[in-house]
Structure 1
Amino acid sequence: MNIAFPAERPAYHADRPELTFDAVVDGARVGCAITAEALEDHFGAASLREPDLVPAFDAHRAAIEAAAARMLEETRGQPVVLHSGFFRLYGEH
């Protein structure tokens, strides 16, 4: 499975709250998300607000994308949402 992540800004969704970003899996775009709770608990985001979440995502993008890639492998390329529990179980890196 070939997984890549375009260098695009994540989208903020206040109603969930989470950031979404795309992966490209074997040439097809697949949606990924990380919850605000995970960004607060594991990546230093100060609040659920976009101005706090996006910099935390940017600062830890490599670890977040590695986690998403792991989940994409496990789900055989289905969309994934990274919750705080994933990082408690597997660690940030």
Structure 2
Amino acid sequence: MQIEFPDHRPVFNYEDLTIEFAVVVNGRSIDCAVSAEALEDHFGAYSAGADDLLHAFEHGRTDIHALTREYLTMGLSGPVLLRSGHFRWVREARRQAARR
């Protein structure tokens, strides 16, 4: 499975309070987004305002892309919406793996 993250600017979706970003899987565009709550809880967004969320997305881009890749490789064909709980799940899984 070939997963690419084109160098396109993320977009603030006012209706859903998400940041949408580009992902191409095997040549097909997939809708992906991360919630305002996730950006506030895990990437330092100060508010649900567009500028704060976009700044937090840029700060957490590597982790956001990594989790998106993980979900897509599990067989999800899209769309992907990452919420705060998804990032908590990853952190807890890493914590448990470190204990072993």
Show the counterpart of 2:85: 85
Q: CA deviation at 1:77?
A: 2.7
Moved segments of 4+, more than 4 Å = none
- Percent pairwise identity: 41
Q: CA deviation at 1:75?
A: 3.5
The size of the alignment, in residue pairs, is 93
Show the counterpart of 1:41: 41
Instruction: Give the structure with the larger helix fraction.
Output: 2
Any gaps of 5 or more consecutive residues in structure 1?
none
Work out which of the two has the higher radius of gyration on C-alpha atoms and give 1 or 2. 2
Residue 19 of structure 1 aligns with an amino acid whose one-letter code is I
The Cα offsets for residues 31-79 of structure 1, whole Å up to 9 and x where unpaired, read as: 1000000000000000000010001101111110011111111243321
RMSD: 1.6
Any gaps of 5 or more consecutive residues in structure 2?
95-100
Show the counterpart of 2:63: 63
Contact 1:9/1:21 (8 A) holds in 2 = yes
The Cα offsets for residues 3-56 of structure 1, whole Å up to 9 and x where unpaired, read as: 010011111011111011121101111010000000000000000000100011
**What SS is found at the alignment partner of 1:69?**
helix
| TM, length-normalised to structure 2 | 0.87
Show the counterpart of 2:17: 17
